Structure 1
Amino acid sequence: MSDLSDLPDLPVTFRPNRTRVILLTAGVAIFVVIGGVALLLEQLNPGEQLSFFLVGALIFWVLALLARVRVVADESGVTVVNIASRRRLEWAEILRVNLRPGDPWVFLDLSDGSSLPALGIQPGIAKQSAIADASVLRALAEARAGQGPERLHS
């Protein structure tokens, strides 16, 4: 897939859609159940009911953070959005895209010697989709790495 004509049009977003649907659905269901319990327990005062709703909202918020992970590739580089962080990378900064057997998600080897996990491509529920997404991102990185003026020589 190194031919530019085989690559997808940019921008392209990679995210674990099945996992995202499951997390958000579970978050809504948990919030509704906890809220329903708060309303059904007549012995609770309004402050206690509010605390039930706050716990449900907190659980939903945590699951929504887990569901927000993604990798967005555009003309100038890649944005990696993980659970609690966002990092913008130029194409030339990405030396290698790795998804080895047993890896929980893709790792990006960077020009500064570090490795960045990219949770937006994870083989958990949809292994074949993650492998295909990792291959596309790898091909994009290889095709675009030499196109910037900051091209690093190693």
Structure 2
Amino acid sequence: MSEKTGTTAETTAGSGTTFQFRPRKVRYVATAIAVVFVVVFTVVAFLLRSEWTGAYFQTSDQVAMVGIGVMLAIGVLMFARSRVRADESGIEIRNLIGTRRYEWKQVEHVSFPDGASWARIELPDDEYVTIMAIPAIDGERSVVAMRELRRLKAAAK
């Protein structure tokens, strides 16, 4: 793994190298927000029974509050699981939910439109798929990843 860019290039049997990229800043922010959710909802759960609020809170209400914090944390951490893998034959994109692989012959362009938050691959009939693993917030790391994806796309022709 390149320390500066956070990319990996793995050699796989028979297919050359595989390029893999994951966001860095998004993972840090998502992890911090997830921790805050769990801590805040846990503190609120303990404070529910400490003062009279006009309602009777049970232990089950406290457990539910912690559960809500955990569920929100899991939702935020879904942003941290994004990844893109590419090789000479195609590109595999894992976003919030699910992973999908596209052969390079299906992909018309790999682009990063002006003002966009994430890169994308453009497909026929004006369709596109967002690559959440390559966010604008990662700056130079995202530029390096885009160059590599474009190089692999060009090599596949």
- What is the count of residue pairs matched by the alignment? 137
Q: Percent identity?
A: 28
Structure 2 spans left out of the alignment, 5+ residues: 1-8, 11-16, 51-56
Distance, in Å, in 1 between the alignment partners of 2:116 and 2:126 is 19
Cα distance, 1:111 vs structure 2? 4.6
Displacement after TM superposition at 1:83 (Å): 1.5
CA RMSD in angstroms comes to: 2.0
TM-score (structure 1 length as normaliser)? 0.77
Question: Residue deviations 1:95-137, cap 9 Å, x none?
Answer: 21111221221121225652211111110x2222212211111
Matched, 1:106 2:119: yes
Residue 146 (structure 2) pairs with residue 134 (structure 1): yes
Structure having the larger proportion of residues in strand:
2
TM-score by length of 2: 0.76
Off by >4 Å, runs of 4+ in structure 1: none
* Equivalent in the alignment of 1:152: none
- List per-residue Cα deviations over 1:32-53 (Å, max 9, x = no partner): 2211331244354211011101
CA distance in 1, matches of 2:59, 2:30: 29
2:20 aligned to which of 7, 13, 34: 13
User: Contact between 2:118 and 2:130, CA under 8 Å: does it hold in 1?
Assistant: yes
Amino acid at match of 2:101: R
Gaps of at least 5 residues in structure 1 are 1-7, 147-154
State the Cα distance separating 1:27 from its structure 2 match: 0.2
Select the structure that is richer in helix. Answer: 1
Please state how far the C-alpha of 1:60 moved relative to its aligned partner: 0.6
State the secondary structure of the residue aligned to 1:120.
strand
